Structure 1
């Protein structure tokens, strides 16, 4: 039996990290953590005001997520986290070396449409451009897979689980 890994479901806002993450965790039989819960109130206020976070805002957040992932080493878990830049993923890997990534990708128009339909989320669709500008897709030397977000969430989680198992 394989040691369960910690998986970070990553991607720009609106790709469905918060929807697909718990479904993937259920398929893998491991706990799920929502990265938004690790944001300090000041960061949520900043994003709610339509101001993108900078790296200084993100380091403590990434460290908290990395701490959670490190605590799940050998036990497994799934956490959502935008992890848009290689340096962010490197920081997560430094805290939890066995972490793997599922990069949710998709057509910008589809993602923007989905963002327009969600309610009660602090991240406005106006920040989508800044998300795409910051995005550095997974590189071949990074443990992980890219999964397109077209289709229903259960199907996306299934494709992610299959890709991780391959």
Structure 2
């Protein structure tokens, strides 16, 4: 079983909800990638502007360093929208497994719209969906349908990871 896991998907897919549940089942720490954004990235998104690749490189490097510094394992929730982003994280942590949280775009949009305490406005979900490079053909990626209750999804995720 890999001890390094990235819950990936667009904003509103459920990374922040599933992360603590999966962490409890696996006995690993969970950290949301939002905590690694520099203030400029947060301000940019809060103003309704999507991030660029150049905005994301230092953020991804910080997430990779976090994973690498935890040889016993860790879980992060990170959008990891493009293959090059996932590859950058894999360079930092070669045993990293991605759980792609995917599902009905209407459900994701509804979840995003319901969030009141997050810096990223619901208006940016379209840019995330447009940027997402689906990882179906990539090795080390497991797709999980977010239409299930979080507890059932955490149980499925743990099973898929061999726990």
Q: What's the TM-score once normalised by structure 1's chain length?
A: 0.94
Q: Deviations over 1:117-145 (max 9, x none)?
A: 12210111111111011111224342120
Secondary structure of the residue aligned to 1:138 is coil
- Aligned match for 1:134, one of 117, 131, 134: 131
Tell me the CA shift for residue 160 of structure 1.
1.2
Report what 1:6 is aligned to. 4
Report what 1:89 is aligned to. 86
CA distance in 1, matches of 2:134, 2:121: 22
- Does residue 49 of structure 2 align to residue 51 of structure 1? yes
Tell me the CA shift for residue 5 of structure 1.
1.5
Structure 2 unaligned residues grouped into runs of 5+: none
Tell me the CA shift for residue 76 of structure 1.
1.1
Report what 1:108 is aligned to. 105
- Does residue 135 of structure 2 align to residue 147 of structure 1? no
Secondary structure of the residue aligned to 2:6 is strand
Report what 1:38 is aligned to. 36
Report what 1:80 is aligned to. 77
Secondary structure of the residue aligned to 1:165 is coil
Secondary structure of the residue aligned to 1:162 is helix
CA distance in 2, matches of 1:131, 1:28: 29
Q: What's the TM-score once normalised by structure 2's chain length?
A: 0.96
Contact 1:144-1:164 within 8 A present in 2 as well: no
Q: Deviations over 1:23-54 (max 9, x none)?
A: 11111111111100000000000000000000
CA distance in 2, matches of 1:29, 1:137: 29
Tell me the CA shift for residue 68 of structure 1.
0.6
- Aligned match for 1:62, one of 40, 60, 63: 60
Structure 1 unaligned residues grouped into runs of 5+: none
